[in-house]
Amino acid sequence: MRVHGSRRWRRAPTPSTRLAFDGRCSAQVQDGNGELNRGELDAFLKGDTGLDAPPRDSPVSWLGASGWKDLLALCDMNDGFDQLRKDFEKNKDNWKAWYDLEAPETVPLPDGHSEKLTPLQRLCVMRCFRPDRVYNAVKTYVMGAIGEKYVQPPVLDYGRIFAQSTERSPMVFILSPGADPQGDIQLLCEERGMMSKFRFIALGQGQGPKAEHLIDQGTKSGHWVLLQNCHLLVSWLKMLEKKMELMKAPCVAPRPVSRRRRDSSRGEEALGGLFFDFRAIRTE
């Protein structure tokens, strides 16, 4: 169940969104196993939210006031953090060498504290010293809690996406700059014998009526309709939303026809119903 849910969520548009979900899953797993300290989790997520200034300044110039304040707050929470603070003040050069590393999250903490702290506690320490490396440190935390497969770069399986879609709901691809799924979508069309019924249009000024015509024809004839650059015609998307809602109406039933019939049926034979093979695909 967890793997299935993660596969769906990993289609989220940004890596940070996916990692936030995986991090939350990891914390929930540890909580279920009785391994999660809620106070430490809050400290990692929020830092020290108190308004009072720290009782004394940071002993080194390279550790900012915010990180030092968060570290002192951790010391009030756990003796292990307090010992780390004492070792830090005693062995500043060792900690400075660790602090200066390009990827300190891949190297054990000085003075043997990696072995003394839990994975979540190590995240709290990383937040104090190198908040810029927390993103990568969370990946390590997730791998230790629920497995490496959850932080692997997602590979879109267009066949799986199609299998989970219906003729009543559009597939929406939110793209990164330079990305273009059209080639993969066309390859899927070829695999399913649908190239002759593949239609696409790049939206822009004056293209709304043409796109609406393609959709109307697609619902009757079982076409796949790819609407590109939807962000360039946002006002028209309200009409598209209404049209898709009408397709969900009980009176508009999909027409269950055989594979041969679907490939050769003419538009008038599907009038009055929503064609089983119809797919609407949007890119933004």
Domain boundaries, the chain: 2-151, 158-283
Residue 76 has pLDDT above 70, yes or no: yes
Res. 156: pLDDT tops 80: no
What is the reported pLDDT for 91? 96
Can you tell me the distance from the alpha carbon of 147 to that of 139, in angstroms, rounded to the nearest whole number? 10
In 3D space, the residue among 36, 41, 67, 44 whose CA is nearest the CA of residue 54 turns out to be 67
Classify 158-283 by CATH class.
Answer: alpha beta
pLDDT band at 166 (very low <50, low <70, confident <90, very high): confident
Instruction: Tell me the two tokens of residue 121.
Output: 């506690």
> Cβ–Cβ contacts within 10 Å for residue 272, how many?
11
pTM: 0.61
* 76-87: average pLDDT: 94
Which comes out higher in pLDDT, residue 255 or 40?
A: 40
For residue 147, name the pLDDT band (cuts at 50, 70, 90): confident
Q: What is the pLDDT of residue 8?
A: 59
For residues 192-217, b (16+ Cβ closer than 10 Å) or e, as one string? eebeebbbbbebeeebbeebeebbeb
Which of 30, 31, 29, 9 shows the shortest CA–CA distance to 20?
A: 9
Beta bridge partners of 166: 169
pLDDT at residue 222 tops 50 = yes
pLDDT band at residue 274, thresholds of 50, 70 and 90?
very low
Q: Which residue has the tokens 């009038």?
A: 271
Helical spans, DSSP H, in 110-207: 113-116, 119-129, 134-146, 158-163, 182-191
Which structure tokens are listed for 97?
């060498």
Q: How far is CA 120 from the centre of its chain?
A: 22
Which residue reads 């899927």 in tokens? 188
